[in-house]
Homo-oligomer: A and B are copies of this chain.
Amino acid sequence: MITFIKQHSCKDELKASNLKVTPARIGVMRFLESVSKPADAETILKDLNKEGINPDPATIYRILDILSGKGLIQKIELGEGKYRYEKSENHHHHLICTNCGKIEDVKADFVSNLEGQIREKNGFLVKSHSLEFFGLCKNCQN
């Protein structure tokens, strides 16, 4: 018996979402896969530039928009007045140091339990959520 192991690929993900495969799109997907912290548009663009891909900022925004529309990435806000993006599989919560700006991760799935309660109490169907903590990281408490 032969088992086909689904080899993960940015290109395949794009195709699976009926999106044309372009260098800029591959670059964005790759980058978001490689980083542990959610990244903003500017950071993403600069990384692509390093790899010799030079899309217009408008293109980056359009790509981020379509990818989050397809659910491949998540658009989040961390109280900075701009958006950050993360690969959907990387979803987790953050600890944002209000002093130095450091962003740490917290893995916690307690929120999932709440969604059922909300459905019952409020009749609201939760599709996604954000949970962020602001405060002082270890280094900034002195």
B-binding residues in A (CB < 8 A): 75, 77, 79, 81, 83, 95, 97-98, 104, 106, 108, 110-111, 114-115, 118, 121-138, 141
Report yes or no: A130 in contact with B130, Cβ–Cβ below 8 A.
Answer: yes
User: How far does the Cβ of A118 sit from chain B's closest Cβ, in whole Å?
Assistant: 6
CA distance A111 to B118 in the complex (A): 15
Q: Known: A79-B77, A98-B127, A127-B98. Is A122-B106 also a contact (CB below 8 A)?
A: yes
Report yes or no: B106 in contact with A118, Cβ–Cβ below 8 A.
Answer: yes
CA distance A45 to B127 in the complex (A): 33
Q: Known: A75-B79, A77-B77, A106-B118. Is A126-B134 also a contact (CB below 8 A)?
A: yes
